[in-house]
Amino acid sequence: MSRAPMELELPSPPKVGMVSLGCPKALVDSERILTKLRSDGYQLSPDYDQADVVLVNTCGFLDSAKEESLAAIGEAIAENGRVIVTGCMGKEADVIREKFPDVLAVTGPHQYEEVVGAVHVAAPMPPSAYLNLVPEAGLKLTPRHYSYLKISEGCNHRCSFCIIPSLRGDLVSRRPDAILREAEKLVAAGTKELLVISQDTSAYGVDLRHGAWPWKGGEVRAHMTDLAGELGKLGAWVRLHYVYPYPHVDRVIPLMAEGLVLPYLDIPFQHAAPSVLRAMKRPANEAKVLERIRAWREICPDIAIRSSFVVGFPGETEADFDYLMQWLAEARLDRVGAFRFEPVKGAAANSLPGAVPEEVKEERYARLMDLTARISAEKLRATIGRTIDVIVDLVDEEGGATGRSKADAPEIDGEVHLRDAPHVAQGDIVRVLIEDADEHDLYGLPAAL
């Protein structure tokens, strides 16, 4: 991730630089903070030199992310000197202040008012002459053609390897009508793809008791299936992330088959062996997931299932790992990410017995990646000769372009590389004839209109 503050060419000091680290949820937080600051009349600075104050939105999930956050704070202090820290690592204000006593303020995740207040103190607010300079859809750090849509904060689960509930608290869902209004504005402003994010999308609305709110002359319930259905009517691609396989997820699959929601499910399974899942305290940890995947594929044959897995979790035996490998061989997931277990400060899993030696973790990781890459390559090869929809992310000067199929989320999945595409533009959704494939990416040619 680039650590250069992002550019927005609008006049009027004071100027704020922003360095945004971490996951899409943190990116949405950064966008909200910037939208508020912009509406208060601040300008964004393209570089450290011109910024009156620099905001660093940190990630504190893994030790490696914390190190990256501390490095980013150090860089901002060295380059500018007037730094406000926010985000997940803000929970560890002591660590930050000890290392960087000069930081102006440290606030935690979702403390929008506190962080904006700290900016007001560090660089006093200008007169309110610029309120109308904020675009209707707010300020975005992603390209105009796709947007993350955060539907809830926090999580009611207590997975033993995760500290997100202690960082972000229990589940708090946004009202469905507010989400839909935001989505409408985004689509009106040019968004072609809405990426629904949360910590646990399938739990959306539990805290609101799945109540209903007026929407377009009818009602919409605070429930994942209702929300997905309404989002699907807005005319943009709708991609669901962080879905746990609760029974009601089955009801979203027909929406995918109908084309209302992208045939894509991001389900972080993390493991398959029952004893490891129990030790992880994973939600919706039930048997028969393989059967359900089979049933989903019958209803929606094109569904792409993405997941992530942890290898070397404490207590994972060779038999547990073999179970996972067999499960993966049967499940034939479309996109797989894997992590070697890494203790996270404050996580319950750290005190579990049966630590797996690093070299065993490495070996299991390599075996898992090898298997899943082979499955991915086979599946992508089967796409050769088909014509599919591709959303264009980037065009190059040689007449080529890079985009994604419905099976690819930005940043985490594969890409589709287009040749002979001088007429396509960023954000276009084009039909592409697939000519070639490798382990992760597809290669093709825009189909004749």
Give the shortest CB-163-to-ligand SF4 separation in angstroms.
Answer: 8
Task: Return the structure tokens found at 298.
Answer: 């019958």
Task: Return the structure tokens found at 220.
Answer: 């919409």
Three-class secondary structure assignment of the chain: CCCCCCCCCCCCCCEEEEEECCCHHHHHHHHHHHHHHHHCCCEECCCCCCCCEEEEEECCCCHHHHHHHHHHHHHHHHHCCCEEEEEHHHHHHHHHHHHCCCCCEECCCCCHHHHHHHHHHHCCCCCCCCHHHCCCCCCCCCCCCEEEEECEECCCCCCCCCCHHHHHCCCEECCHHHHHHHHHHHHHCCCCEEEEECCCHHHCCHHHCCCEEEECCEEEECCHHHHHHHHHCCCCEEEECCCCCCHHHHHCHHHHHCCCCCCEEECCCECCCHHHHHHHCCCCCCCCHHHHHHHHHHHCCCCEEEEEEEECCCCCCHHHHHHHHHHHHHHCCCEEEEEECCCCCCCHHHHCCCCCCHHHHHHHHHHHHHHHHHHHHHHHHCCCCCEEEEEEEEECCCCCEEEECCCCCCCCCCCEEECCCCCCCCCCEEEEEEEEECCCCEEEEECCC
Give the shortest CB-40-to-ligand SF4 separation in angstroms.
Answer: 32
* Cβ distance to ligand SF4 smaller for residue 51 or 267: 267
* Cβ distance to ligand SF4 smaller for residue 122 or 243: 243
Give the shortest CB-248-to-ligand SF4 separation in angstroms.
Answer: 16
**Interacting residues with ligand SF4 (CB under 6 A):** 155, 157-159, 162, 164-165, 199-200, 283
* Cβ distance to ligand SF4 smaller for residue 156 or 387: 156
* Cβ distance to ligand SF4 smaller for residue 229 or 245: 245
Give the shortest CB-256-to-ligand SF4 separation in angstroms.
Answer: 22
- Could you tell me how many residues make up the chain? 449
* Cβ distance to ligand SF4 smaller for residue 80 or 198: 198
* Cβ distance to ligand SF4 smaller for residue 42 or 161: 161
* Cβ distance to ligand SF4 smaller for residue 58 or 199: 199
Give the shortest CB-305-to-ligand SF4 separation in angstroms.
Answer: 17
Task: Return the structure tokens found at 198.
Answer: 């949360």
Give the shortest CB-283-to-ligand SF4 separation in angstroms.
Answer: 6
* Cβ distance to ligand SF4 smaller for residue 12 or 156: 156
Please say whether the dihedral angle defined by the alpha carbons of residues 262, 268, 272 and 278, taken in this order, is positive or negative: negative
Q: Facing residues of 98 across strands? A: none
Give the shortest CB-160-to-ligand SF4 separation in angstroms.
Answer: 9
Give the shortest CB-105-to-ligand SF4 separation in angstroms.
Answer: 27
Give the shortest CB-310-to-ligand SF4 separation in angstroms.
Answer: 10
Give the shortest CB-203-to-ligand SF4 separation in angstroms.
Answer: 8
Give the shortest CB-419-to-ligand SF4 separation in angstroms.
Answer: 40
φ, ψ (nearest 5 deg) of residue 101: -60, -15
Question: Which residues 6+ apart lie within 8 Å of 404 measured at CB?
Answer: 390, 391, 393, 410, 413, 414, 415, 416
* Cβ distance to ligand SF4 smaller for residue 167 or 305: 167
* Cβ distance to ligand SF4 smaller for residue 158 or 294: 158
* Cβ distance to ligand SF4 smaller for residue 164 or 380: 164
